[in-house]
Amino acid sequence: MLTRIDHIGIACHDLDATVEFYRATYGFEVTHTEVNEEQGVREAMLRINGTSDGGASYLQLLEPVREDSAVGKWLAKNGEGVHHIAFGTADVDADAADIREKGVRVLYDEPRRGSMGSRITFLHPKDCHGVLTELVTSAGVESPEH
């Protein structure tokens, strides 16, 4: 069961300048940064608030480290802006399977590693009214069968 909006992913050309904008304009501070080589991005997570299930809501700022990464290609085509929305779940495997059974294409056969050690998968935007949608199980949350 989806429990919250985990994060909104925003593609940008210059991560440092974009972080500074969100810090100076809204007072949001970076709580985590990393380079995800598999996804070809350098990212910063800006925590917006905590939630009763122990999770939080974030803005995820994404700068491609390779032009051929998914975010790099998207940025070249669309420019800076909202890239995806991510919903938190205690069990990404079960929710992805349930959503797949409803006819929505799940982009990964098995969830992959995401930000801060999370487990993630994506849903095809053409099946989600034009919105690239991510499902996220935060690190430290074990799926019932995993």
- Given the residues 39, 63, 83, 84, the one annotated as active site: 84
Structural contact between residues 121 and 135, judged by C-beta atoms closer than 8 angstroms: yes
Kindly give the pairing relationship between strand 81-89 and strand 30-36. Answer: unpaired
- Is 63 catalytic? The answer is no
- Is 43 catalytic? The answer is yes
- Given the residues 39, 43, 63, 83, the one annotated as active site: 43
- Is 84 catalytic? The answer is yes
- Given the residues 39, 60, 63, 83, the one annotated as active site: 60
- Is 13 catalytic? The answer is no
Q: Three-state DSSP class for 109?
A: coil
- Is 7 catalytic? The answer is yes
- Given the residues 39, 63, 83, 134, the one annotated as active site: 134
Q: Going along 14-132, which residue ranges are E strands?
A: 30-36, 41-50, 56-64, 81-89, 112-113, 119-123
- Given the residues 7, 39, 63, 83, the one annotated as active site: 7
**Residues annotated as part of the active site:** 7, 43, 60, 84, 134
